[in-house]
Structure 1
Amino acid sequence: MSGAISPEITAAYDAVRSDKVETNWLIISYANAVGDKLVLSSTGTGGLDELKTKLDNSQAQYAYARIEYANDTESKRVKFVLIIWIGEGTKVMRKARVSIESGGVKQALGHHSIQVDARDHGDLDEKEIVTRLRKAGGADYNGGRG
């Protein structure tokens, strides 16, 4: 996995994790139609809604997002999500290789609370993701309500 730990990807990952930078998501794409080299394809500050508009339906991509949500009226929580995107138009061989190649990406983007496997934008509903994050975090001050 030659591209998963490139300096550009590492810098973008650090930016998403930083409390001092506005960047809250990144997308990693395959450099070519064949092969496992990965490149940083975009970053942004507009949250999950913006990230969804940048995912390519013809590709397999990896995204990492910072999700901030209120625990209660007194506190906020920040969690990180790894998204494995396989667009509907992704070629069959690429789809088959993602399960193998995603291991290196998971290592490079190691600090995440949940992984979301997404095939369309409906799989990236922020309310559902926050519900999953609350369950994964153990403490739920809303009695299970999103």
Structure 2
Amino acid sequence: MTGTQGTAPTATGRTVARRTVVAAAGAVGLGAALVACGSDDSAESAAEKPAGSGGTDDGANGDSDGGSGGQGEVLAKTADIPEGGGKVFEDKGVVVTQPAAGEFKAFSSVCTHSGCTVGDISNGTITCPCHGSQFDAADGSVKKGPANKPLGATAITVEGDSISLA
């Protein structure tokens, strides 16, 4: 009886030691945990990737000089971005801020903590609604955790009263 104790039959009829089954289940669980933990890396990658580079461009190819999906697309008018605040363009993965009068900045809208989209932008601070991380609207740096990495800068151009992806 010791040869079959602690074994389980497989689909092929062979028996597998409980230790093997537990080890395999642990490996699967570890893989899932690593994928879940990888969300911070994914957020960082998204933060470092310029908005509008790749993916769909909602038909904006004709508006760009190089045809690189969304490049040159007008996001907003300068009057749409409040001083000390900003606006999130979730579909473009970017948040545009106006930290001081006439000064416009853009960052990834993906929080570097858990990959949520940032929300409120006021009083010079970009806030993530998921866990309360706060970022400086002027440079994307972390003002308050749990995030520990800044929002990645996104290139924009301001021509006249139009703000566009660079």
Please confirm whether the aligned pair reaches a TM-score higher than 0.5, indicating the same fold. Answer: no
TM-score grouping bracket, smaller chain normalisation: under 0.3
TM-score by length of 2: 0.24
Structure 1 or 2, whichever has the larger Rg, is 2
Q: Give the TM-score of the pair, scaled to structure 1.
A: 0.26
The structure richer in helix per residue is 1
